[in-house]
Structure 1
Amino acid sequence: MKFPFLAQRLFNTPLAITPGKAEVIMAALAERMGIAQMQRSVSMMDDDDYDYTGPGDNPRTGYDVVAGTAIVPVAGTLVQKLGTLRPYSGMTGYDGIRQNFLTALADPKVKAIVLDVDSPGGEVAGCFDLVDTIYKARGTKPVRAILNEAAYSAAYAIASAADSIYVPRTGGTGSIGVIWMHMDWSKALDAAGFKVTFVTYGDSKADGHPEIELSPEAYARFKAQIDSMGELFVETVARNRDIPASQVRATQAATYMGAAGVSQGLADGVMAPDAAFRALLADIN
């Protein structure tokens, strides 16, 4: 089932996603699932019936080739492993993006690669390894990120690894930050007449579980981890975009529309997606 999968992906895990998108997902879960259902979801997370397979006419090709250019989709919520080469059910997997990128890189028919990006971001897990893979391939073939319309958070990290980034007038860049949400069900469980007792080995073993309140000590430890991930994000973007880390850090995870992102050094130009694609074709032909 889809909701346990979403709950597992959303709560108690570091995310590089815009807060607004996270709130939308949380609202959808809250509306459709009561506390009892949430409890059931937790017990099913390792044995749900979510369809991971997804559609695909050619299982070996997750991108289209137009005039010698591979168009690699980076769309919807980004997750570490989806098991498909193309976006599916509103998500794209880092596993699919990596496979598509490396296949296009080795494909003799492909002269250039476009990262076709429209995403609010997603999971931290797996994101920066993918970013490094794209960054290290610079110089092999032209790689251009064309936003259609936005690249926020984890999606921006991926876009920043390209040789250049083009954003439309109403598109967006930024949200260079990390968020972690702790869902506290303890009061709802009390109201429902349930009491959960954890028997653990290790004082911190149960930290972060939604059935108990988050202690100050646990919060401090998780905050330190989030700060470390945030600094990795800042340093990665600074390297990719060749701008000072202090300049990236000063954005404080803000988002920028169109030309405002260019002025921050987060994009190279304002251009509609079709115009950006034609410009790339002119460059390689």
Structure 2
Amino acid sequence: MQFAHLAQRLFNRPLAIHRDKAEVIMAALAERLGVTRMVNVDGAAIRPNASFYDEDDGYQYRDRDNGYDLVGNVAVIPVHGTLVQKLGTLRPWSGMTGYDGIRQAFMTAMNDEDVKAVVLDVDSPGGEVAGCFDLVDTIYGARGDKPIYSILTESAYSAGYAIASSANKIYVPRTGGTGSIGVICMHVDFSKALTSAGIEVTFIHYGDRKADGHSEIPLSKEAFDRFQADINTMGELFVETVARNRNIAARQVRDTQAVTYLGADGVTKGLADAVAAPDAAFRALIAELA
């Protein structure tokens, strides 16, 4: 069983956790753990779509995970770690967050009557280009329906910044960062190492450019120029997207040359709206909703 170790940590051992929160965890993991039905000690079934409010920490919890937490009437969506196109989970997992999970959580939150605003809790160095800008366009297109804030905890770089920029406002802490608006690709040439080891690699292919980019052969000028053109296209898409999202000139974004900016420097460059600790930024949003 893939989750056998997790099951051993949850069942038949004492846990220091609130009962209701334990039910949330079990409801979220039940299918993966092979649990088909859950009941309370009194025999009453646990409702899969039930929700409750915990007065101790102010969170709204739901038995079925929608990919966000309700803090009052604000949906908080985590955008943490390396960003990938398809992760297949609603929450960050193993140091990664999927664009698919963010999209699902965001769309659910926007259609949730209990949600009056959305916070993107961003702490990411970036990730894959694939899927990123489609997600950014989805979030940007929802502006005006509900307030959307990006609260950085701690930094938003590259693809992480692209997502952060889709919100109405961006708050960055003093030691947090923004920027790295660029695209990068690596090619590793192992051909000399293989030759030194007495290994000869022969590619049998149809199409003159089919073997371009393989690490067993040097990168030709033709291949480099083609790959650079693709990188330039994606880079310009990044620049134009940020310029639109932040309502600043594309030249201003392009001139950053993928530099990263600490705290207030990002505000000066137009990449964030204010410097604030995450809790202070959240209180500012709550004040706006009042």
Specify the TM-score bucket, using the shorter chain as the normaliser.
Answer: 0.7 to 0.9
Map of 2:150 onto structure 1? 145
Q: Where do residues 212-251 of structure 1 align in structure 2 (5 Å cutoff)?
A: 212-251=217-256
CA distance in 2, matches of 1:111, 1:83: 27
**Is residue 143 of structure 2 the alignment partner of residue 123 of structure 1?**
no
Opposite residue 109 of structure 1, the aligned amino acid is D
Opposite residue 153 of structure 2, the aligned amino acid is N
CA shift in 2, pair 1:191/1:176, >3 Å: same
Task: Specify which structure has the bigger relative contact order, considering alpha-carbon pairs within 8 angstroms and separated by 6 or more residues.
Answer: 1
Pick the structure with more helix per residue. Answer: 1
CA distance in 2, matches of 1:244, 1:102: 29
Counting matched residue pairs gives 231
CA distance in 1, matches of 2:114, 2:177: 32
* Pairing partner for 1:73 from 73, 78, 90: 78
Q: Deviations over 1:246-265 (max 9, x none)?
A: 10011000000000000000
Q: For structure 1, which segment, 114-123 or 179-188, has the greater mean C-alpha deviation from structure 2 after superposition?
A: 179-188
Q: Deviations over 1:124-179 (max 9, x none)?
A: 01000000000000001100000001000001000000000000001000000000
Opposite residue 262 of structure 2, the aligned amino acid is M
Deviation at 1:56, TM superposition (A): 4.6
SS of 2:150's equivalent?
Answer: strand
| Structure 1 unaligned spans of 5+ | 1-54
Deviation at 1:279, TM superposition (A): 1.0
Map of 2:96 onto structure 1? 91
Opposite residue 161 of structure 2, the aligned amino acid is Y
Deviation at 1:185, TM superposition (A): 2.1
SS of 1:279's equivalent?
Answer: helix
CA distance in 1, matches of 2:170, 2:200: 52
Higher alpha-carbon Rg:
2
CA distance in 1, matches of 2:216, 2:248: 43
* Pairing partner for 2:110 from 75, 82, 105: 105
**Is residue 198 of structure 2 the alignment partner of residue 199 of structure 1?**
no
* Pairing partner for 2:281 from 248, 264, 276: 276
Map of 1:34 onto structure 2? none
Q: Deviations over 1:6-37 (max 9, x none)?
A: xxxxxxxxxxxxxxxxxxxxxxxxxxxxxxxx
Q: Percent identity?
A: 71
CA distance in 1, matches of 2:113, 2:129: 32
Deviation at 1:79, TM superposition (A): 0.6
**Is residue 69 of structure 2 the alignment partner of residue 64 of structure 1?**
yes
Report if aligned partners of 1:59, 1:85 keep a CA contact under 8 Å in 2: no
Deviation at 1:199, TM superposition (A): 0.9
CA distance in 1, matches of 2:223, 2:288: 52
Map of 1:211 onto structure 2? 216
**Is residue 188 of structure 2 the alignment partner of residue 183 of structure 1?**
yes
CA distance in 1, matches of 2:196, 2:78: 45
Report if aligned partners of 1:118, 1:148 keep a CA contact under 8 Å in 2: yes
CA distance in 2, matches of 1:192, 1:71: 53
CA distance in 1, matches of 2:206, 2:158: 36
Map of 1:133 onto structure 2? 138
Q: Deviations over 1:39-72 (max 9, x none)?
A: xxxxxxxxxxxxxxxx955664211111111110
SS of 1:188's equivalent?
Answer: helix
CA distance in 2, matches of 1:150, 1:205: 39
Map of 1:26 onto structure 2? none
TM-score, scaled relative to structure 1: 0.79
Deviation at 1:188, TM superposition (A): 2.5
Deviation at 1:195, TM superposition (A): 1.8
CA distance in 2, matches of 1:207, 1:184: 12
CA distance in 2, matches of 1:282, 1:254: 33
Deviation at 1:187, TM superposition (A): 2.3
